[in-house]
Amino acid sequence: MASWTYPQLSIDDTKLGKAVVKDAPVSIRDLYNVCKAIRGMKVKEARDFLDRVLKHQEALPFWRYSHGSSHRSNISSKWGIKNGRYPVKAIKYVLKALDNAEANAVSKGLDPDSLKIIHIAAHKSFTLKRFMPRAFGRATAKYRRTSHIEVIVGEV
């Protein structure tokens, strides 16, 4: 198994909250866009934005892997692009990682209202290859993609 560590930042570890979700059954394509959208936001602001996307009140912009997804009228003009989606499953796992990072920061004595997302990234994990039987003795491959999510938050 490959070794893994958090990225080395120039900030003291006592002022950071860290969390990682390993082998989440979510496509890296959705996680990439979710992470890019909330990178640099305050934790409370990011959580509010992701809750609006979960309720389909605002679309999450898709910079990459959009594959011709349609333009959304409820996407904010601050993103600069019009195509977006509602990646519900990916958002649930990112919220889980955010909650864990915030809890880690609070346990270190940091103020939860002033936490900002310093680093968030999604990495590709293993792919489960399964086969679905088809007619006339054939089979179709089905791929279950998994991903890792890492979050680092710090006080502003």
The fourth-level CATH superfamily of domain 15-155 is Ribosomal protein L22/L17 (3.90.470.10)
CA atoms within 13 A of residue 149's CA, in its CB half-sphere: 30
Residues composing the chain: 156
Return the residue matching tokens 């809890």. Answer: 103
Nearest-angstrom CA–CA distance, 122 and 139? 31
Query: Which residues, at least 6 apart from 127, have a Cβ–Cβ distance to it below 8 Å?
Result: 143, 144, 145, 146
Pair of tokens at residue 32: 């990439």
**What is the chain's pLDDT, residue by residue, as a tens digit (156 residues)?**
678 888 888 888 899 999 999 999 999 999 999 999 999 999 999 999 999 999 999 999 998 888 777 888 878 778 888 889 999 999 999 999 999 999 999 999 999 999 999 999 999 999 999 999 999 999 999 999 999 999 999 998
For residue range 121-150, what is the model confidence (pLDDT) as tens digits? 999 999 999 999 999 999 999 999 999 999
Tally Cβ neighbours within 10 Å of residue 4: 10
**Residue 100 C-alpha from the chain's centroid:** 13
The structure's pTM equals 0.89
pLDDT at 52: 95
Alpha-carbon torsion, ordered 65, 71, 74, 79, to 10 deg: 50
pLDDT at 1: 61
Return the residue matching tokens 């979050």. Answer: 151
